[in-house]
Structure 1
Amino acid sequence: MTEAPWAALRAQLPILSERRYLATHAIGPLPIAARAYLEEYAASLSHRLRSVPLHLERMETVRGLLAQLIGAPPRDVALMPSASAAEASVALSLQPGVGYREGRAEPRRRRILISRQAFPSSRFLWEAQAARGFEVHPIEAPGGERDAEALVAAIDERVTAVALPWVEPRASALIELAPLVSACRAAGALLIVDGFQALGVVPLDVGEVSADVVLGGVHKWLCGASMGLAMLYVAPEVAAALQPAAPGWVGSVSFPDFGEHYQPAPGAARFQQGTPPVEPLFGAQAGLELILSAGVPALRARSLELTERLLHEAAERGLRCLTPRARGGTVALDVGALDARAQGALVQALAAIGVDVDTRRGALRISPYPAMAEGAVSSALADIAAALHRRP
């Protein structure tokens, strides 16, 4: 894309012109078109029962858009209230001593490999599975480059699942999935990928990179209007092998009718439970349409250009970056010399001059949406550097 299409895309995301918004890793910019969809939802509320067909139709529309995003059939995508709930629904379906690729008892298979770089909810969830008889083994040292080949040796016939983030949330380090996919398939293990910090800014085609499970939410790089909606992709052969531990009406084959006995819906839909939040469905549609129209490969190329600019200019200004070359859409600066209070004050001071960033565990996270103007990215970094150099 030339600069003109980026200006056109930027015009659809007003906050990118109103502020130097660099917090897509937390909450993505809101498309103008989202307001019309949210108004449509608000108008439907007064219709009460008559609004149900519209709400059910929107469920399938958004499911289809999410499926298109990752190159999957809609039946392989479930709509969930959060990425944590999505991951938990899969985790609780697993049992120690079972090989899910072969569909048979394998007493030695009770190990789960988890990443030390994962989002806290993911780590907490998997660590809790030790109480159900799993052996939970942390892998990956915190920080720095992530080497998929180095992890392959840990994946053997004792492993039930490998669960890790594609792009880790603190410094945006990206791991190559293909070696992990191959190793998991060879060992009979499942690969469960948290794609929250990647989907929408790093291309994924599950037909080519066939992770068994991919999850993520809509309110970051997918530009959803609000929290409360996540997606769960489950490969069809894996979904067929798993029985949800907490089944619900929406995940039954009889939905939306009342079935007398539970029978899981085909595909990933079996992991859905109760009636989903409806407002986030309407709020997600515009962002997904915008991203699919722009094309994730083009967004990725532009994101790499902007983050390369940040890495280069940060180095010129004497700022230490925590983000490696293989990265998602965020650049993290080392502010570990500041205590938590000083980090909070820094974020507030930057917000007061129109620069939106945040900090996590000594990392100041900067994530320009690909449509952001290059000059705005550079001027924001200049203000960040000035603020840091003023600190004692």
Structure 2
Amino acid sequence: MNPQARAAEFDAADALAPFRARFSLPEGVIYLDGNSLGALPRATPEVLRRVLEQEWGEGLIRSWNDAGWFEMAGRVGAKIAPLIGAAPGEVIACDSTSVNLFKLIAAALRMRPGRKVILSEPGNFPTDLYMIAGLEAQGLATRRLVEREALVDALGDDIALLLLTHVHYKTGAMHDMAALTRAAHAAGALVLWDLSHSTGAVPVDLTAAEADFAVGCGYKYLCGGPGAPAFAFVAHRHHADLVQPLTGWFGHAAPFAFSDDYVPAPGIAQLQCGTPPVLGLAALEVGVDLIAEIGVARLYEKSQALSQFFLACLAAHGVALECVSPPDSSARGSQLSFRHPEAYAICQALIARGVIGDFRDPDVLRLGFAPAYLRFAEVAAAARHLAEVLASGEWQNAAFGQRAAVT
């Protein structure tokens, strides 16, 4: 196979190719880290300029009403809902993934009196496990970790909540959401899905899976910018029983009544806590609108084609790295992860060549394939660079092996 020739054919036939022009990407860079921080949509600076100069600069405090700032969290949440198979009124954009995890873990514990165990897997994303630990330190929860193949058997009558990341951040392995949710419900437990590596990248249908809760971030495939607001999902059937612990004023039924006593807002709105970050929500809305316009089904189809093509290119170059992502593309998210004892140094050598991927301790080189703006020609070039780095041994440069903050 001639990787460059095949890439040219694929790019010429790519229906999503025109969308690349809707993103701002630096020249000379092959960006394979969109699964960590999405690229900047070209429309975002102009939207932020309008919010800054007109809505804030001229409208001042009137813009809470006139520019719809009060409704932003619900409005952006409603736009995210179709991307994850949620119904209207089940999603709100607010706070961070970590904060939303804490809220929903605590809410689930309250809904399952007599049960304190939160079940998850070792190697889950750290903040998911840390949030359990925070409640455990207060005597409210007990953390139990079992390997993913043993999760169903571990669903005993003491489990209050099963907490899992749908697409694993390090390997890209994807859980069977519907099957695990059914198993948890059969055991009387609730389920909380972390969709941070799923939303905008792989098809998700929370309604069909009968999921209870979900969270996700806005800065990866949704391209909302660094530290973008996250989102939270609660199925309608749980709204009447939902009691979240962070009873901030924006989650109040009448925040401007300034009452001394807290009364939760109805439905999903009570998951708000403090004042919404207007600038962050404005940037996130641009990314959400763009991903919705492209369509998750088309994005997923292309991302799988990109990752399969990358593997074929590596094979054409005679590269045999251990891939720790599932070999079946339908069982993984939009990434490939490779194990090598010098993965950090290899990652840094690639970055020096303009190929930006990332490293995860202790030995994983992780490459993301964000299909909204990645071209097949770039995938072919990235494979060539990786083959050359490995063949030349340039990763042995002392500077590359000296660990610092990782991109």
TM-score by length of 1: 0.88
SS in 1 for 2:334: coil
Contact persistence 2:78–2:92 (CA under 8 A)? no
Matching residue of 2:57? 46
Structure 1 range deviating more: 355-364 or 314-323: 314-323
Aligned equivalent of 2:144, options 134, 137, 142: 137
1:282 deviation in Å? Answer: 0.8
Structure 1 range deviating more: 225-234 or 380-389: 380-389
1:338 equivalent to 2:342? Answer: yes
Matching residue of 2:215? 215
Aligned equivalent of 1:328, options 333, 346, 349: 333
Contact persistence 1:203–1:300 (CA under 8 A)? yes
Aligned equivalent of 1:72, options 86, 92, 111: 86
1:20 equivalent to 2:30? Answer: yes
Alignment of 1:142-157 (within 5 A): 147=149, 150-157=150-157
Structure 1 range deviating more: 44-53 or 11-20: 11-20
1:256 deviation in Å? Answer: 4.9
Contact persistence 1:82–1:217 (CA under 8 A)? yes
SS in 1 for 2:297: helix
Give 2:367's aligned amino acid: I
Matching residue of 2:172? 172
Matching residue of 1:143? none
Aligned equivalent of 1:90, options 104, 124, 144: 104
1:28 deviation in Å? Answer: 0.6
The superposition leaves residues 169-220 of structure 1 with CA deviations (integer Å, 9 ceiling, x where unpaired) of: 1111111111111112111111011100011011112221221111101110
1:249 equivalent to 2:249? Answer: yes
Structure 1 residues 99 and 217, CA, compared in 2 at 3 Å: closer, same or farther? closer
SS in 2 for 1:193: strand
1:17 deviation in Å? Answer: 6.4
* Number of matched pairs: 372
1:18 deviation in Å? Answer: 5.2
Contact persistence 2:215–2:232 (CA under 8 A)? yes
Structure 1 residues 360 and 4, CA, compared in 2 at 3 Å: closer, same or farther? closer
Contact persistence 2:132–2:141 (CA under 8 A)? no
Contact persistence 1:10–1:16 (CA under 8 A)? no
Structure 1 residues 155 and 317, CA, compared in 2 at 3 Å: closer, same or farther? same
Q: In the aligned structure 1, how far is the partner of 2:284 from the partner of 2:297?
A: 20
TM-score by length of 2: 0.85
Give 1:159's aligned amino acid: I
Aligned equivalent of 1:62, options 61, 76, 80: 76
Contact persistence 1:314–1:321 (CA under 8 A)? no
The superposition leaves residues 262-318 of structure 1 with CA deviations (integer Å, 9 ceiling, x where unpaired) of: 111122221211102111111111211111111101111111111112233335411
Structure 1 residues 226 and 99, CA, compared in 2 at 3 Å: closer, same or farther? closer
Aligned equivalent of 1:11, options 5, 18, 21: 21
The superposition leaves residues 246-271 of structure 1 with CA deviations (integer Å, 9 ceiling, x where unpaired) of: 20111111145434531111222212
- List gaps (5 residues or longer) in structure 2: 1-9, 397-407
SS in 1 for 2:183: helix
Contact persistence 1:115–1:165 (CA under 8 A)? no
| Deviation >4 Å, runs of 4+ | none
Q: Taking every aligned residue pair, what percent have the same amino acid on both sides?
A: 30
1:119 deviation in Å? Answer: 1.0
Alignment of 1:267-282 (within 5 A): 267-282=267-282
1:42 deviation in Å? Answer: 1.6
Contact persistence 2:32–2:357 (CA under 8 A)? yes
1:110 equivalent to 2:116? Answer: yes
Q: In the aligned structure 2, how far is the partner of 1:23 from the partner of 1:94?
A: 33
The superposition leaves residues 210-235 of structure 1 with CA deviations (integer Å, 9 ceiling, x where unpaired) of: 21111101110111133130000011
SS in 1 for 2:232: strand
Contact persistence 1:19–1:355 (CA under 8 A)? yes
1:358 deviation in Å? Answer: 1.0
Q: In the aligned structure 1, how far is the partner of 2:278 from the partner of 2:111?
A: 37
Could you say what the CA RMSD is over the residues aligned between the two structures, in angstroms?
Answer: 2.2
Alignment of 1:166-205 (within 5 A): 166-205=166-205
Q: In the aligned structure 2, how far is the partner of 1:7 from the partner of 1:277?
A: 33
Q: In the aligned structure 2, how far is the partner of 1:121 from the partner of 1:135?
A: 16
Q: In the aligned structure 2, how far is the partner of 1:228 from the partner of 1:304?
A: 26
Structure 1 residues 327 and 126, CA, compared in 2 at 3 Å: closer, same or farther? same
Give 2:178's aligned amino acid: A
The superposition leaves residues 101-147 of structure 1 with CA deviations (integer Å, 9 ceiling, x where unpaired) of: xxxx4x3x22210121311111111133333143321022xxxxx54
SS in 1 for 2:262: coil
Alignment of 1:247-326 (within 5 A): 247-315=247-315, 316-324=318-326, 325=328, 326=331
Aligned equivalent of 2:129, options 123, 134, 153: 123
Q: In the aligned structure 2, how far is the partner of 1:195 from the partner of 1:386?
A: 35
Q: In the aligned structure 2, how far is the partner of 1:227 from the partner of 1:350?
A: 25
Structure 1 range deviating more: 209-218 or 265-274: 265-274
